[in-house]
Amino acid sequence: MNIKHDKEKVISTGLNLICSKGYNNLGIDEICKTTGMTKGAFYNAFKSKEQFLLVAINAYGEMMVSHLTEQLEHNQSKAIDRIAAMYDDMFDRQPNNNYTGCMINNLMSELGVTNQLVSEATANEFDNFLSVIEPIVIEAQKDGDFDPSISSAAITELLHSTFYGALTRAKSTREYNHGKQTMTLLINSLRSI
């Protein structure tokens, strides 16, 4: 079966492969075998494995921005509680995702230093995630729950960077409760006094 014209399905399947195997451990042969795409069709659609990865990064980023927006903006609870619940939810999903973590975090660790295009693409997606989270941080500051003397951008960066570190640890230990505790401690430490 040749799925060469169903690019979205190929990208979706590729996302799963990249998340589970990483970029360097994944070959074009495996992508083609898993998706049903021929090598010729793959190269016609994506030109290279790196180009496929860049398309996958963008697709994953769009999916995550949509997910984060849904969690943070369409909830009636207090802003600080929505932020805490978002991070709890992402940790709670790890066992069902076989502790694959976040593709952007994984690729930043795997290729961020060695591949400038991937470094720029993952940094851009990370910034997109922050742009969804920061308005809720500002709302928490207005509610008096986060210290307004600290910049909202700095709080947002601290929250999500800490989450990525705790998520990396959860992947290696295959245990996510420490990460949830870390995020709870951080959120509580940022509360207004």
**CA dihedral sign, ordered 15, 11, 156, 68:** negative
Across 79-95, average pLDDT: 95
Top-confidence residue, 167 or 76:
167
**pLDDT tens, 141-153?**
999 999 999 999 9
127: its two tokens: 């910034």
What is this structure's pTM?
A: 0.89
Listing DSSP states for 47-91 in one string gives: SSHHHHHHHHHHHHHHHHHHHHHHHHHS--S-HHHHHHHHHHHHH
Q: What is the mean pLDDT of residues 115-124?
A: 94
Residue 13 confidence (pLDDT)? 87
**What pLDDT shows up at residue 193?**
64
CATH of domain 57-189: 1.10.357.10
pLDDT of residue 3: 40
Angstrom distance (rounded) from CA 111 to CA 149: 36
